[in-house]
Amino acid sequence: MNPSRAFILAGVLLWVAAGQLLSRHHVDLLNFAAILAVGGLGVGLLLGQCGIVNLAQASFYGIGAYASAYCTTALGWPALAGAAAGLAISAALAAAIGVPVLRLGGFFLALATLAVGSIANVLFFEWDWLTGGTLGIGGIPKLSWFGYVLDTPERYYYFVWPLLAVLLWLVDNLVKGRPGLAMRAMRDAAPAAQVLGVDMHRLKTSMFVLSAMLGSLAGTLFAHYVSFVSVQSFTVERSIVFLLVPVVAGARSTYGVILGALFVSLVPELLSGLGDFHQVLFGAVLVLVVTLMPGGMTGGIAGALQRMRGLKEAS
């Protein structure tokens, strides 16, 4: 069997077994990691392929969550309709914001997206007639799949991870196609891309909209999983967590967001037994990862495999 296929098969078997063998708590953590990976995928697409730092992802994450919560509890809509409403609102808002904001570049663009995230968090708090403010919205129904209610972490696990796999495959195909080539040209040689006829502003706006829709979908998945949303879940700090996922994983690796999401979700849990000091240790671990592996975890793994291959050939 081809080594890559054997590796993929082993990974699938390990994933299937994990849902059955791990404790409920650990399966719960894996579900949150998958949701984080969905939102982080959009941030990584902008960062790795377009060179855009997006600190507004928590805004669209909140829109998706609140749209699903409000539509299903107050309006009695099905979950799919609530998710569609969140996607539509996020796409429209991202397009409206992206047209002026994405004309900026570098630190100014990052600060502009940070301002968007801060404004959204204030609105989530002030519009308590819609969001419930600090009290939040509860009673959000669980997702169901052909009559099969995803009301346990184990059931949700076998839904959210395949969904993540499909999204990764779709984004990977996008990156490997002509849009991906245009994005890389825009990122690495903007004047040359412009000469070749790449409409950079339109491309940036389109990718910003796609990133926002992935953030909204992550919010929908979160809302229906925990059955409760409040403003504390959609702060600027959440946007930073979404940004950490591709940074730790390697921003230019699509599938690497899985490693980044697992790292950001599981490492703090492993260190939590050390008490309040675990946050300091997590920060130190992040610094070590970024310092020792500038290309992220995927870059570090690829480099290690290449060195092992070189040593094997030399021997």
The token pair at 179 is: 């849009």
pLDDT at 307: 75
Task: Give the chain's length.
Answer: 315
The predicted-structure confidence for 216-265, as pLDDT tens digits, reads as follows 999 999 999 999 999 999 999 999 999 999 999 888 888 889 999 999 99
Split at pLDDT 50, 70, 90, the class of 1 is low
Residue ranges making up the domain that contains 88: 26-235
**Dihedrals φ, ψ of 150, to 5°?**
-90, 70
63, part of any domain: yes
Average pLDDT over all residues of the chain: 89
Give me the residues paired with residue 149 across strands: 144
Instruction: Characterize the bridge pairing of strands 144-145 and 228-229.
Output: unpaired
77, part of any domain: yes
pLDDT at 3 over 70: no
273, part of any domain: no
The predicted-structure confidence for 71-116, as pLDDT tens digits, reads as follows 999 999 999 999 999 999 999 999 999 999 998 878 888 999 999 9
Q: Find the range with the poorest average confidence among 19-23, 231-235, 271-275.
A: 271-275
pTM (predicted TM-score): 0.93
Largest CA distance in the chain: 70
- Whether residue 108 contacts residue 222, with contact meaning beta carbons closer than 8 Å, is answered with no
228, part of any domain: yes
The token pair at 265 is: 């979700």
Report the domain count for the chain.
1
163/262 Cα distance (integer angstroms): 16
Q: How far is CA 131 from CA 115, 159, 223, in A?
A: 20, 27, 12
pLDDT at 122 over 60: yes
177/13 Cα distance (integer angstroms): 30
The predicted-structure confidence for 128-165, as pLDDT tens digits, reads as follows 888 988 899 999 999 987 788 998 999 999 999 999 99
